[in-house]
Every structure is written in C-alpha cells, then in structure tokens.
Amino acid sequence: MTQAANSFSLERGLNAWREEIDAPVAAFFSSCVHCGLCAQACPFYVETEDPQYTPIHKLEPLRLLWEQEYTVWGKLKKLARDRIDAKLGRASKPLITDEMLAQWEPLLYDSCSMCGRCSMVCPVGNDIHYMIRKAREGMVASGHAPEGLVAASVRAVNTGSPMGLQWKTLDVQIKHVETATGLEVPIDREQADYLVLLSSMEIINFPEYLEALTKIFAHADVSWTLSKDCFEATNAGIQIGSKDIAATLVQRVVDAAEQLKVKYVISPECGHAYTAIRWEGPNAIKRAYPFKVYHIIEVLDQLRADGRLKTEGKEMDRLSMHDPCNLARKSGVVQQQRRLMDLVADDFVDLKEHGEFQWCCGAGGGVSSNERAEPLKLAAFKRKKAQIEEVEPERMVTMCATCRTQLEEGLEEFSMDIPVVGLTEMIADHLVEKEKAEQS
C-alpha cells in the first residue's frame, strides 16, 4: 500500500501506539525472556512451523517503540546512539519504518486470530493478544491494515453490515421464519426485555438461527425485539483494530437499545461480536451502558436454570463441541454451553483441550475477512482438525457463525464427513410443543 496518497502515515500509527501503551504492556515487554513457549500455543505456528509466527515476535515493532520511548534505559540508549551518529556525521536510522510495518502486517493480521491462547500459557504471564489488539490500532492508523478488513470496515460503517447486507434481505428472511413457524418476529418493539442482534454471516449462511431463536423465545415467553435501525452485531472495527470504527458501530447498537428502552442486548452466535459489544464497546464509546449484554448462550442457560426451557428427546449420535475463543477464553462463557449440551445430547464428548484452553478454528480476529490469509487460515485449521480426530465425533456443535463456517469449510477440504450445527438450533429442535408443555 503506498503512503501519502491517503491520510494515514507512520507518524499517525506511532501516535496510536503511544495512546495504547499502558502499565500492562510495559510489564509484559519487560518480562519476555524469548523462551518461545507462546509459539507452541499458536495454531499458526504449530501447523506451519514457521518461527516468524511466534506470537511475541508479531509485536516486535510495538516493543521497539515502548523500549525507546517508555523506558529510561531506552531513552538513554537512543541518546547515546544519536550522539554517535552525530559524531560520525550520519543521519540517525529511524527505529520503525513503513517497510517494517509492511513486513509485520501479515504477522499481525494474517497469522493471528487474536484467539488469546498464547496469553494463557506464557510463563511470565504476558497477555500477548491484549497487545496484538493494541498493535493493530497503530497498523490501521499507519495505513497497514489488510485490504479485506479495510473493505469490510468501510462496508460496515457505510451500509450497516460488513457484508453489505440490507434490512430488506433480513426482512425477506423474517417473513420466511414467520410463515414457517406461525410465530411473530417482533420488530422495533419498545420496552421489550431483549434486543436481539444478528450477524450478517448468520443471516446469509445460517438462516435457521433466527427461526430457532423465534421458537425458543416463544416457548419461554421471552419479551424480545429486533431493531430495524440496528440488526448487525458484528464489529469490523474490533477485527481491523480501530476503536474509532468500533465506536461508530457500537454506538448504533447503543442508540437502538436506548431508543427501544430494552433491558438486555443479546449478541448472536458470533464470537467477536460478543467481545465487541460486551467488553470493548463501553470503552470505545467511553461510557457504561444502561443495559446488560449477553451472548445468546448465556440467555439460553439462564432460561434453562429458570426452568423455562422444556426439552424432550436427545441427540443420540456422538457430539463434540468447539468453544469459540471470543466466547470461552476471552469472555468466560464455558460451562453454560456444556449445561445446554447435557440437556439435549446423549453422547457428548469434549475435545481434549477445551474451554479456556481450546484451540482456535483459525478464522477469528479478521482472518476470515482477509482473503490474503486464506492459506494460513486453512493451515491453522489443521490443529482443530487434529483435535476433532482425537475424539471422533459424528457431528460438531458450536455457537459462532465464523467458527461454524470455518469448521464446515475445513472439514470439507479434508473430506471429513462431520456436519457442524449451531447449539441454539439444536436446543430449538428439542423444545416440547407449547400445548404439550402447558398440559403437563
């Protein structure tokens, strides 16, 4: 990407990094001993065995800036270097260059799904993915974000969906759901308890989610609504790593929720959308929400606990589950999906490393929106594939549209006949008919 033709610049990128450096970043960089254990936690390294994909290495430019500008020792070293350069009459070499950032762009985007697994194993306790997220701010501001993510961000802001999806497309689907179920899909209903958000990928690839949700909420008498103004939960700003873009997108959700005066906002079966709204959103818009945010799985588990979910029958085949990183490791939702599985699955087997130690499907963190990363995305999937092969399930269950797409594509690539289903749909399939439930 050529510079100067646009408003992004190296200096703007470095400024963004200066905004991001805080005590944890300083503690993390001070502690790294180059042991390389983060590599064995990273699906991109494990499956390619290319050392440049070692997670901590992806942060080298940010580390250089921190060392030079945020440590007394680094400042002294720079002073000495500048004096030597001045003595020798040569220009000081810049610490970080555009060429360097261009070289690091694939490391920070193509080979990192921000799954956070490295942050769980680092022996000195470095939260590497916390820093990757911060590093991406500078990459965007310096004009070094991948084209696919830039395009998705532009579409998300300009059209309301990273895939350019319009309300009318969703409206067709709503009509279809209403016909199929005979139930109403509430739209713009003020004072509803829950505002339901969707993801474009779900709307396009997995229309059964909305149908399942409609059935479950009718079954459990949940007061809910969709918003015409804001139905998109995904946040390309989080993936590209721009809190400004993220704030613009989160603000739409907040506005819709506040306008409809809902108590809760439900993030759909999408991992990063949950992280975006639940954890990053309030910080992006710099205020706490007047409503609470739940992932659909949390809501379903709450309904189950309240006895509002009556199910019958169980899936009899051998099922296993993929925890979306954003939901499990990065948001603490681990037991909820397992309790729901118990409700409807007879033969459930967990992958050996699951929950907070699960392996990423390889598509998160914007990797799936970045066409250039396609080969790496498939390579990283091999880790998941190996995990699945270990327990030999007949079907996989998950609760993130991106993970689900990646699992389906990956399994197909390797000719593995293992269908992937969404947990919400599976719950919906086992609901006791309303009349029956009322009789009992």
- Per CB under 8 A, contacts with other proteins among 228-247 are 242, 244-245
- Verify binding: residue 282, other proteins, rule CB under 8 A: yes
Distance, in Å, from the CA atom of 208 to the CA atom of 220, rounded to the nearest integer, reads: 18
Our CB check for other proteins shows the closer of 57 and 189 to be: 57
Burial of 72 (0-12, 13-18, 19+ CB in 10 A): exposed
Cβ count near 216 (within 10 Å): 22
Q: Which stretch binds other proteins (CB under 8 A): 45-53, 213-221, 224-232, 430-438?
A: 45-53
Q: Which stretch binds other proteins (CB under 8 A): 82-90, 171-179, 258-266, 285-293?
A: 285-293
Shortest distance (Å) from residue 292 CB to other proteins: 7
| Smallest distance from other proteins to CB 418, Å | 22
Q: Which is nearer to other proteins, 6 or 415 (by Cβ)?
A: 6
What minimum distance in Å lies between the beta carbon of 115 and other proteins?
A: 13
Give the residue, chosen from 87, 90, 93, 286, that forms a contact with other proteins under the rule CB under 8 A.
286
Candidate list 47, 202, 269, 280; residue touching other proteins; CB under 8 A: 280
Which listed range, 51-59, 84-92, 98-106, 192-200, lies at the site for other proteins (CB under 8 A)? 51-59
What the block records as the tokens of 414 is 């390797």
* Interface positions, 309-348, toward other proteins (CB under 8 A): 328-334
Chain position carrying tokens 């029956």: 436
Other C-beta atoms closer than 10 Å to the C-beta of 350 total 15
The residue written with tokens 């609901």 in the block is: 431
Burial call 114-145: b when 16+ CB within 10 Å, e when fewer: bbbbbbbbbeeebbbbbbbbbbbbbbbbbbbb
Closest distance of CB 398 from other proteins, Å: 19
One DSSP character per residue, 227-259 reads -SS--B---HHHHHT-HHHHHHHHHHHHHHHHH
Per CB under 8 A, the list member of 10, 54, 203, 378 interacting with other proteins is 54
CB of 45 to other proteins, least distance (A): 7
Contact status: 4 vs other proteins (CB under 8 A)? no
Select from 108, 423, 116 the least CA-distant residue to 270: 423
Residue 14 Cβ, how far from other proteins at the closest point, in Å? 9
What are the tokens at 119?
């942050």
Q: Which of 18, 83, 175, 339 binds other proteins (CB under 8 A)?
A: 18
Query: Which is closer to other proteins, CB of 94 or CB of 123?
Result: 123
Candidate ranges 3-11, 339-347, 410-418, 430-438; the one touching other proteins (CB under 8 A): 3-11
Q: Of the ranges 82-90, 151-159, 169-177, 261-269, which one interacts with other proteins (CB under 8 A)?
A: 151-159
Site for other proteins in 67-126 (CB under 8 A): 69-73, 119-126
**Residue 227 near other proteins by CB under 8 A:** no
Gyration radius of the chain over CA positions: 23
Interface with other proteins by CB under 8 A: which range of 135-143, 174-182, 210-218, 399-407? 135-143
CA distances from 356 to 127, 326, 397 (A): 14, 10, 17
Instruction: Give residue 52's identity as a one-letter amino acid code.
Output: Q
- The full 3-state SS of 19-88, as one line of letters, equals HHCCHHHHHHHHHCCCCCCCHHHCHHHHHHCCHHHCHHHHHHHHHHHHHHHHCHHHHHHHHHHHHHHHHC
